[in-house]
Structure 1
């Protein structure tokens, strides 16, 4: 393993003393991200402190804020690295490609089934809705872009969480909290683990009145580079319109197909694709 270099990082641009609007704190955070970006391996707090030349207590506060905000990850040994989605694709490129690819597929699902369809993505410790098309029907399941989803009680949350490592699953659950929304919500640790196993085995997730009464959802993971799951697609409908099993299977197959097609476009990005 190569020994880490301990020289201080250089800021992207030298800031003159007359630039009164420059935020030193933000500058330090950006410099820290630049350090992690070029590091050949995760860095300890001491190693980061040596590189950036700032007090250790300040570095810790910045790292903690970046970790909570989803820009930095910390491993079991307490070492820091750039968050996976920033490392692999770059946050902007990833979101842009994901949204552009999924949009026509969501519209196709919405036209065919006339139900609400949504796209969600994981940002470190949270799962967030980033796109949706609501059902044109008067009685429908609603959603909101920017909504933070429960990883244990929503089809999108389950579809993403089920494919994470145990450490990431625990972090997602701990960050959101395992709250009971209805009498159908799974809150028992053992039962929830079984639910994630079932989700992986069958390739899709369900929400059977677990997040809201009279609401049903089907979700499927978007499998990206290195078989990682960072997003999911779902279809939601009122229980009163839930069709027979054969029709449900057709809905599920369509959602899985849309998620699979989205993943096919995203996977080459890690190999320097478009």
Structure 2
């Protein structure tokens, strides 16, 4: 259980990520730390919640996930650790909705509030750097085999944000736009399980942000012309609107301000 998967919204231009890794190594010198991402924008909890779910599916059972997207650090929001029912994953971070999607997918076996400062890096911990002083050391101790019930009392209820499941009526689908990646691929919450009957090559009308485009449902980008829009199932099993060697988000005038706030309409 020495594997720690690390995700933040801090970027890599400062020392924050390296310091947290150093704290982990001070506690568990055998810890193997894998970076998920630190540079997918700032403060967008729903976007990172989606990224965590997509990444977690490919990690081994028992992985410890250190996840810090924490715009209200130092406020009344609780620092927590949880263990999932499926795969026995551990997640350490703020109780602010960041773990919404993974809790839906994997379930929660146990969750605790991190209150025992014997496991903190500093007992006089910083009010703005819980990543270093609370979350990183707790993740390190879990990676050494310490049960999460050592860190504080059980939590009765964890914070989640409202998630509307995709709506499918006849030949129309309404789903959420979660985020776009660096390629401009438009990521949705529409799992491939919802539309198992959709035939390859079928034309689909996509409406996002008030813009309508007719695209083809294909298996990969190269099945359409360069610059042409397409619909396909991405490597994480979700429907994605993309453009071959171009930027689909730009074609629909999407920016970071729209992430998690826009619906996608598909007419099949």
TM-score, normalised with respect to structure 1: 0.30
- Decide which structure has greater strand share: 2
- Decide which structure has greater helix share: 1
TM-score, normalised with respect to structure 2: 0.31
Greater C-alpha radius of gyration: 1
